Amino acid sequence: AQKVTQAQTEISVVEKEDVTLDCVYETRDTTYYLFWYKQPPSGELVFLIRRNSFDEQNEISGRYSWNFQKSTSSFNFTITASQVVDSAVYFCALSEAKGNNDMRFGAGTRLTVKP
């Protein structure tokens, strides 16, 4: 079964700092999908990005960027010029093309951005 590791439990930064959230995954499937979600205090999951295993291009969306490296099985997420509104728990997740297509989440990283 797939596994996702987010080693950083909590990160605290001051506004305008850049911050990178790490995600390392394990899978035996050659076709898989990686995700990042944001979970604010309200609890709902906010979709940020989906990447399939055949697309290693890095992506930038505004202040957000993602670095996907199959060689190290990592899918890291960087927030540039962080803002207080970025404070939330961020989850990295993986689903495999084979089997149930169920999604497995990492433990999450709680990001606090202080003014």
Partner 1 sequence: GAVVSQHPSRVICKSGTSVKIECRSLDFQATTMFWYRQFPKQSLMLMATSNEGSKATYEQGVEKDKFLINHASLTLSTLTVTSAHPEDSSFYICSVMIGYGYTFGSGTRLTVV
> Which three-class secondary structure string do you get for 51-66?
EECCCCCCEEECCEEE
Hey, which residues between 86 and 105 contact partner 1 (CB under 8 A)? 91, 95, 100-105
Of the pair 80, 103, the CB lying nearest partner 1 is at 103
Of the pair 46, 60, the CB lying nearest partner 1 is at 46
Of 88, 110, 114, nearest to 10 by C-alpha is 110
Can you give the length of the chain in residues? 115
Question: Is position 61 an interface residue for partner 1 (rule: CB under 8 A)?
Answer: no
CA distances in angstroms from 24 to 96, 105, 108, listed in the order given: 15, 11, 12
Q: How far apart are CA 95 and CA 102, in angstroms?
A: 6
Of the pair 76, 108, the CB lying nearest partner 1 is at 108
Of the pair 46, 81, the CB lying nearest partner 1 is at 46
Question: Is position 107 an interface residue for partner 1 (rule: CB under 8 A)?
Answer: yes
Site map (CB under 8 A) of partner 1, residues 25-54, x = contact: --------x-x-------xxx-x--x-x--
Q: How far apart are CA 70 and CA 24, in angstroms?
A: 10
Residues that bind partner 1 (CB under 8 A): 33, 35, 43-45, 47, 50, 52, 91, 95, 100-108, 110
